[in-house]
């Protein structure tokens, strides 16, 4: 007991007024996660961003799409996947008989990397925890990992996306299927057929889960 008192006094001397003891493992709400992010300055990406691009869609969605990072349009509007690649993603979602409002869309990092470069390892490490919290809050039945970065992060692998796509993997309490990123499809239209095959597989799995 004396050790506990001394520890509490130590925190008090540091100016700590309360402690989160984490008595349960229940997920935070999306609103709580966004509040926790705040006006984030945890990595260098904050210096040139206009918006924190958190996520959008149904907080209880069965289907969640995870991308890499915001681009210029997303940074300007604060909404993920609203540029050219985002419009293509919207068409894919609608072709599945769904709307953006019925799914949930988020990125690994919440701020735009300069010049749309790949997020650096320290930036991913700083931000990835918020994505994991979002997944835990939404509890989707299926996660679609869009592109190499999202797939390799979530699956903790260096396997190329060309070998991962189209396969279902277990991720926590969800199924995860990697597929090509919409921006890749804009450069390689011939791969749209493969992505559509992946999305048909998602549709079939979702029907099985009802």
> Could you read off the pLDDT of 114-149 as tens digits, one per residue?
999 999 999 999 999 999 999 999 999 999 999 999
**Complete domains list, the chain, with CATH:** 32-209 (3.40.470.10)
Mean pLDDT in residue range 68-89: 97
SS3 category, 79: coil
Model pLDDT, residue 20 = 39
pLDDT digits (tens, 9 = 90+) for 138-186: 999 999 999 999 999 999 999 999 999 999 999 999 999 999 999 999 9
In terms of DSSP H, where are the helices of the chain? 2-13, 30-37, 72-77, 84-95, 121-138, 148-155, 161-164, 182-187, 192-209
Does the predicted TM-score (pTM) go above 0.85?
A: yes
């Amino acid at each position: 007991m004396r050790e506990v008192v001394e520890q509490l006094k130590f925190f008090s001397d540091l100016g700590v007024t309360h402690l989160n003891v984490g008595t349960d493992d229940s997920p935070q709400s999306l609103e709580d996660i966004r509040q926790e992010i705040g006006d984030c300055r945890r990595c260098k990406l904050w210096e040139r961003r206009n918006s924190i691009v958190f996520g959008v869609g149904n907080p209880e969605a069965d289907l969640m799409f995870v991308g890499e990072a915001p681009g210029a349009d997303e940074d300007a509007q604060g909404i993920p996947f609203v540029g050219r690649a985002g419009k293509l993603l919207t068409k894919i979602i609608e072709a599945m008989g769904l709307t953006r409002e019925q799914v949930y869309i988020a990125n690994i990092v919440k701020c735009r990397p300069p010049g749309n470069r790949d997020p650096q390892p320290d930036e991913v490490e700083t931000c990835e925890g918020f994505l994991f919290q979002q997944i835990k809050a939404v509890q989707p039945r299926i996660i679609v990992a869009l592109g190499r970065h999202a797939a390799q992060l979530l699956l903790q692998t260096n396997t190329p996306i060309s070998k991962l796509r189209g396969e279902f993997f277990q991720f926590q309490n969800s199924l995860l299927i990697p597929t090509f990123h919409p921006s890749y499809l804009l450069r390689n239209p011939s791969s749209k057929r493969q992505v559509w095959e992946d999305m048909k597989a998602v549709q079939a799995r979702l029907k099985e889960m009802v």
